[in-house]
Every structure is written in C-alpha cells, then in structure tokens.
Amino acid sequence: MSKRGEDQNLIHRHSKHPVLRQKWTLGQRAADHIANFGGSWGFIFFFFFVLILWMSLNTWFLLRKPFDPFPFILLNLVLSCLAAIQAPVILMSQNRQAQRDRIHAHYDYMVNRKAEREIQNMQKDLDEIKSSIIKGYKK
C-alpha cells in the first residue's frame, strides 16, 4: 500500500468524524483497489508483459492460424474496453478521495477553531493574572 493510502487508513481508523468512520461498499473498496493498482508501476509492467505476450503469440501463430491477425484488432478492442472501464473507476475513487479530503479539512478547521478559542481564553486568563499581579504590587 502506498504512503498516502496508509495515511488515509490511519485517518479513517482514528478519526472521530462519523463520515470518515463509515463502512465503504464492496464497489467503493474495489474502485479504490483498482485505482491504486491501475496507477502503479506494477500495473504498467504487467500491462507491457501482457502486450508483448499477446503480440509474440500472435506473431508466432502467424505462420499457422493466429487468433488475432497482424493489425491486432482484438487487442485494440481489449485495450479500448480496458480504458473505458478503468477511467470511470479511477474517477469514482478520486471523487471519494476528494470527499474524504473535504471532510478531513473541515474537521481540521473545526479543531483549529477550538484551539484558537482555547488560546484566546488562556490569553484572557493570563491578562487577568497579570493585571491582578500589577494591582497587588501597586498597593
């Protein structure tokens, strides 16, 4: 799993925000895993391996009866279908990631606002202590 994925899982597990703790459906989890694999070097190497294997087998069988003759029309169809399916899945995963990021940013904003209020209260308390100390010295 990537570093970002680990960070998101950590946020997901330890966050108090209910939306970040929700259970994802099978389709949503599958979209995330497909997007993670589809955007990795492992996928690229696997993809090149499959393409080279496909073209090698067809070229070797060319002397006999290839299942996909030279312009590799079937291979083009498979690649087009892969792109047509992979693109929306990756977009679904990105949309869900953007939703999690927005929720997390709002949660951070609320925590920061609370911290700011507490700092202001502590500053007010310090000012009161300072003024009472100054009054005590003036007497």
CA distance 114 to 23: 28
What pLDDT was estimated at residue 117? 96
Mean pLDDT of 80-92: 85
| Dihedral angle of Cα 124, 125, 129, 131, to the nearest 10 degrees | 20
Cα within 13 Å of Cα(98), Cβ side: 6
Residue type, 26: L
Q: Which pTM does this prediction carry?
A: 0.52
Q: Does residue 127 have a pLDDT over 90?
A: yes
The 8-class DSSP code of residue 118 comes to: H
- What the block records as the tokens of 119 is 């700092």
Please give the helix or strand (H or E) that residue 103 lies within, else none.
Answer: helix 73-138
Q: What is the pLDDT of residues 19-47, one digit of tens each?
A: 556 787 888 788 888 888 877 888 888 88
DSSP string, 11-63: HHHH---TTTTPPPPHHHHHHHHHHHHHTSHHHHHHHHHHHHHHHHHHHHGGG
CA distance 133 to 62: 96
Decide if 35 contacts 5 (C-beta within 8 A). no
